[in-house]
Structure 1
Amino acid sequence: MVRRVVVVGIVLAVVLTPLMGWAQSKAVLPPIMPLRDIKPGMRGIGRTVIQGQKIEEFDIEIMGILQGGGDVIPVRHLILFRASGPVTDRSGGTAAGMSGSPLFINGKLIGALSAGYLWQPGKRELALGTPIEDMLTVLDLPNGTAQTPWPRTFAASEPFHIGRRAITRVVVTDTLAQAQRVDEAGLPGMTAFIPATFPVMVSGLSPRAMGFLRQALGAAQPLLQYDQEGATFVASPITGGSSVGILQVRGDVSYGGMCTVTLRVGDRLLICGHPWDQMGEVEYALTTSDIVTVVRTLQEPFKEGNLGDLIGKIDQDRGPAIRGVIGRMPRMLAVRVAVTDLDAGTRIEKGVQVVRRRDLAKTFAAAMALTAVDRARGQILGGGTASVKITLRAKGLPRVISRENVFYNSRDVALASLLDLPDALNFLLYNDLAPLDPVDMNIEISVTGKRQTAAIAETTVERREVAPGERLRVHMTLRPFQEQTVPSRVIEISIPRDFPRGPAVLVVGSAGRQVSLESAPEQGLAQLLQQEPQPSPAATLDGAIQLFEDYGKNTDILLQLIPFGLPPEGSEFVKFDVFAGEVVRTDWVVQGEIQIPILIR
């Protein structure tokens, strides 16, 4: 399936690649002009696509060389140039989607368009290029190489003018807001450019899941939502100036953008002339793309296009460039979600492949599950009960493991049903007891509007004073919602011989996670996903599996005898050999909590 993509806001380019163009007979570098030979006043051309898959040329004039780095930052350079000609007249200057466009002087490759200057009246013609010498270091970079920082401040070899201003220093900022602050500071001889980091495009999410995604990723990451539309095109062979798609999530949900190929050598590509996330060694999806048109706006022109077939992978995301490899497919984490509305009899199934990156896997698994629940129920808010089963597979696990839990919420059962996802994903992706190689995750959710809860109606103890080594007998009564009270049960809690003497508290309540979803529920889920994973309280992987599968369920009643003054939470209270406790299984989501003072003699 081919997807319609809109690219907005930053210098970016689109590349097209056909299945027929995967192979290239010779891995030969084109003629290269070193940075030392590039002088102000030199003229040349750039190559890009602004419609379809036809590579066209625009004119460039070198204005100067910017030198960056110093101190702890590696010395780097950028090429300052002006773009012109019929192609940029049609595109409105350096449009979003042109980053990576190869630049040539006298037939020799000098670098790639990588950053633009936004404060230009009329046509956006002032831009920066990454020297090809820096980019070539990424082409042959071996896996496992540490990443290095990209400099942010550059000094011009000679002053240049923007309008009446003489510029001697350039700051390359991460965002438009940062660039505006630099410009508003009015520092003499200084201005700001923005890296041609493409705006990220997202499709397949419900409006609420899109809001959750923005909350989880933060304001620094611009997101553009687009609809998936069927489209067909035959991709042309990929070469310098072509357009390609880069995806970190693909399937029923897509997350990625488009960039221009600077150079192809054999099956390897240098793309963009800038990083995406600068994560170093990665595995993203590489696809074909096709440009529909360049949309001209008051702020910045941008390319609109379609993403096509998977043709390879991105394996390096570095400061000078992104490296693609044609014909080698990325290893990604498969996440599948199935939601059944038991009242309506409807079922929705969705699946994605997510880059094997912990933060994105956690975020998109939750966003896709939220989308599936919202669409299966045909509503955003609404109370009810959800039964959830999460199944995990990974190399390093002794078997397939799964966790089943039941959730109730009177306002938003869809979000409540996802509250086990952070722990499941942390177990799979951040396991501190064994090296796990995740394979896939399956989430099965069944939702009903019926309330399946029970309140702890009454809890009493036979004695308020017990000694270490004795048993505390507890009588407990449950009252299911709008049903008859369940006959009282007797639970015995063994008091460890080393239990601290003195006052203690018997806490009786749900064993499940207590999270409020009353206000800003999407924000609450995002915060859970962003929390730093804690070390497992278990000593072995088998122990951690048992905790994951059996502990902390909303249908369980947890009875804990806690020394006075200590909170009934934290990993220490999982260790029942240290603190006295028992778990009682029920058929309902348990609500309410009772505390009884106890004296340990």
Structure 2
Amino acid sequence: MRLAGRASPLWTGIGWLFALFLLVILPGVSAGDQFSVKEGVFPVKSLKPHMRGTALTVFQGGKIEQFPVEILGVIAQRSAPNRLVLIKAVGDRVMKAGGVAAGMSGSPVYIDGKLLGAIGFGWKFGDHSMALVTPVEEMLKIPPMEGADVKSKGPHDGLGQTPKDASDHVVSQDQVGQDAASGAVSQDQGLSSPLLIGGVSPRYGRLIGERLSSRVSAPGGGEIVASGSSVLSPGASIGVALVVGDVSVGTLGTVTAVDKDKFLAFGHPFMGRGSVKFFATEASVVGVIPSLETPFKLGTLGGVIGTVLQDRAQGLYGRIGMMPQGNDYEIRFHDLDSGKEAVRRFKAVVDPFVSSLVVPPAVAGCVEDLWGRTGQGTGEVKITVEGRGMPEGWNRTNFFLSDSDLPEKIFQEFSMIHSMLPLNPFLPLEPLSFRLDVKVTQTPKVLYIEKVQVPKDRTFSPGEMIGVDVWLRPWRSKVEKRTFSVKIPADARGDVEVLVRGGGVGEMEQESIKEGRRSIESFEGLLRELSAAEASNEIIVEVLCRRSKDREREDSTKLLSEIKEQRVKEGSLKVLKTNYYVEGLLRVPLKMTAEGDKERGEEE
């Protein structure tokens, strides 16, 4: 008797179909948005060495404070943003916080009352008083604002143009020792605040961080919708989130500029995905944490206040009051050992490529957090999916067993379903609703197939119905006997045997698809094949044999659902669902009549 469990039947049966369903889905972008910087723009070309300016940011709570900065130089590069301004932060307030910190990205820098740009980049293990500012002239190149009018009384280049004469810069390329072709700064130098992840266990929080190539700090999440109307100001904190609600995944930064309901922020990318529809949220700063690597703001995300529409190298652009669609998730958790029950609800961005990175580990981490442990156990999970184009919805129940990591087993199957349905090539489903009913126990809730027996000392004929006795032993309980009736196919030939097994053990594959004889041609067909996959709580009793040549040719072009339906109808396949994880596989050969042998020999 073994407890290690096995790969999900859904994965072994049709998991490879996922590779067929890659469909690029990009949110729409309205062209020609105009962004007016009401303070006016201080052009990079007008900068001089040792100019003084002022930066705005939040050090704690929601209070916007200022600190002085000194201009040191300008760097030009061929990649976006094309120009960056090197500054030095000065003053007691910022230095007590450890210098320019991650999360200050987006903090506006003003010279003579005009907006120069946003603090955007710094260096790990460097001088934390130093930072690079992304000029607002560069931020206004973010689509769809490229070519927008800029209010400024000073001389400056046209938007979208790299300065023609590098000698006008405070610091030339030779002076800073950089080759413009190589780029002055890499995106991983952006002053991104660590991810704020709430409602999941620490290890799955770390996994989300690894998938998003980001550090993870303490949990921080809040309501799905803000409690009241929000007014943004330059220097205020703002959050950008992929998941909001009882589970949250996001980060915080700073607002650079506001034009009515539009805003610019961060001064560097979040994920760099271009046109997006991420959640823009309220944010509050608990404090700035000093660090030799990079100081960072520790904070919490609040309710959703709008949508981030652009995630570009120069920063973020979005709108307040425009609420993005989100996929809904509900986890109903029940610990059978302690009796604990809980419900968690959250929303995630509809982009299937982004949500597939974040949601599956968030679900597994939420289950692990609610369970309060990791390790061995048995789980029953019912997944119910509803969405546009799914009037009747779809659901699947499966059991999972692990001797070391039950949440990981649950994570594997949900991850495949969660990716396959939104990426189907037939029709859009968003927004989707996923509900997971999860029951867990530390006890191995296993049903072992211990013995199989057919009537002894007799022969069988094609087309005959036979009784199959199966002895089943629940974990450390008494053996129970169950009798199944199955039919030997009328066209059976060659060796014939009865096979009794747990669902997913030795399951048939989608041979017609793998060999190029058939394909799935509709969304309804996709759901049928998903439903045809075996589950680990099933007892499978079947008669295996060679069939007539005509039948074998016919079966070679059928999908798995069609073959199973036909075999159930003819009686050669029986499936019994149980409340256990079924383990085992036993075969019993059948002795066929001489007449049957003769008929089979003639057909061969």
What TM-score do you get using the length of structure 1 for normalisation?
0.71
- State yes or no: 1:543 paired with 2:525: yes
8 Å CA contact 2:80, 2:313 repeated in 1 = no
Give the secondary-structure state (helix, strand or coil) at the position aligned to 1:352: strand
2:106 is matched with: 100
Larger relative strand fraction: 1
2:576 is matched with: 585
8 Å CA contact 2:222, 2:244 repeated in 1 = no
Give the secondary-structure state (helix, strand or coil) at the position aligned to 1:420: helix
User: What is the distance in 2 between the residues matched to 1:108 and 1:403?
Assistant: 59
User: What is the distance in 1 between the residues matched to 2:589 and 2:431?
Assistant: 46
1:348 is matched with: 342
Aligned-residue offset at 1:391: 0.8
1:191 is matched with: none
Cα 1:280/1:485, change in 2 over 3 Å: same
Give the secondary-structure state (helix, strand or coil) at the position aligned to 2:530: helix
- State yes or no: 1:110 paired with 2:116: yes
8 Å CA contact 2:250, 2:301 repeated in 1 = no
2:323 is matched with: 329
- State yes or no: 1:451 paired with 2:438: no
Q: Note the 1:123-522 alignment, pairs <5 A.
A: 124-138=128-142, 140-141=144-145, 157-160=172-175, 171-175=184-188, 194-213=189-208, 217=211, 220-226=213-219, 237-362=231-356, 364-374=358-368, 377-384=371-378, 386-448=379-441, 449=443, 451-455=445-449, 457-458=451-452, 476-481=468-473, 482-492=477-487, 494=489, 509-512=501-504
User: What is the distance in 2 between the residues matched to 1:506 and 1:172?
Assistant: 67
Render the CA deviation track for 1:203-237: whole Å, top value 9, x for unaligned.
2222343355456x27x33222336699x999984
Render the CA deviation track for 1:496-535: whole Å, top value 9, x for unaligned.
99xxx999998753333899xxxxxxxxxxxxxxxxxxxx
Aligned-residue offset at 1:258: 1.1
Question: Which of 576, 579, 597 is the aligned partner of 2:563?
Answer: 576
8 Å CA contact 2:499, 2:588 repeated in 1 = yes
Cα 1:94/1:316, change in 2 over 3 Å: same
User: What is the distance in 2 between the residues matched to 1:594 and 1:404?
Assistant: 24
Q: Which moved more, 1:266-275 or 1:397-406?
A: 397-406
User: What is the distance in 2 between the residues matched to 1:537 and 1:457?
Assistant: 39
Render the CA deviation track for 1:66-87: whole Å, top value 9, x for unaligned.
2222xxx678222223222344
User: What is the distance in 1 between the residues matched to 2:394 and 2:434?
Assistant: 10
Q: Across the two proteins, how many residue pairs are aligned to each other?
A: 503
8 Å CA contact 1:53, 1:290 repeated in 2 = yes
Cα 1:317/1:422, change in 2 over 3 Å: same
Aligned-residue offset at 1:114: 0.8
Question: Any unmatched runs of 5+ in structure 2?
Answer: 1-34, 147-161, 508-517, 548-557, 591-599
User: What is the distance in 2 between the residues matched to 1:42 and 1:560?
Assistant: 86
Give the secondary-structure state (helix, strand or coil) at the position aligned to 2:95: helix
2:91 is matched with: 85
8 Å CA contact 1:292, 1:305 repeated in 2 = yes
| C-alpha RMSD over aligned residues | 4.3
Question: Any unmatched runs of 5+ in structure 1?
Answer: 1-25, 143-150, 176-193, 516-535, 565-570
1:61 is matched with: 70
Over alpha carbons, which structure has the higher Rg?
2
What TM-score do you get using the length of structure 2 for normalisation?
0.71
8 Å CA contact 1:287, 1:310 repeated in 2 = yes
Give the secondary-structure state (helix, strand or coil) at the position aligned to 1:138: coil
User: What is the distance in 2 between the residues matched to 1:537 and 1:371?
Assistant: 35
2:150 is matched with: none
Aligned-residue offset at 1:30: 3.0
8 Å CA contact 1:99, 1:114 repeated in 2 = yes
Aligned-residue offset at 1:577: 8.2
User: What is the distance in 2 between the residues matched to 1:352 and 1:229?
Assistant: 10
8 Å CA contact 2:57, 2:235 repeated in 1 = yes
User: What is the distance in 2 between the residues matched to 1:472 and 1:36?
Assistant: 92
Aligned-residue offset at 1:488: 4.1
- State yes or no: 1:49 paired with 2:58: yes
Render the CA deviation track for 1:251-305: whole Å, top value 9, x for unaligned.
1122111111111001011000111001122222222223333232333322233
Q: Which moved more, 1:439-448 or 1:262-271?
A: 439-448
User: What is the distance in 2 between the residues matched to 1:286 and 1:395?
Assistant: 25
User: What is the distance in 2 between the residues matched to 1:404 and 1:157?
Assistant: 64
Cα 1:42/1:439, change in 2 over 3 Å: same
User: What is the distance in 2 between the residues matched to 1:98 and 1:377?
Assistant: 36
Cα 1:358/1:245, change in 2 over 3 Å: same
Larger relative helix fraction: 2
**Percent identity between the two aligned chains:** 26
8 Å CA contact 2:81, 2:134 repeated in 1 = no
Render the CA deviation track for 1:21-62: whole Å, top value 9, x for unaligned.
xxxxx9664312333333444433322222343333333333
Cα 1:129/1:348, change in 2 over 3 Å: same
Give the secondary-structure state (helix, strand or coil) at the position aligned to 1:298: coil
Paired letter, 1:59: P
Cα 1:307/1:409, change in 2 over 3 Å: closer
Render the CA deviation track for 1:293-334: whole Å, top value 9, x for unaligned.
323233332223343333222122112111121112221111
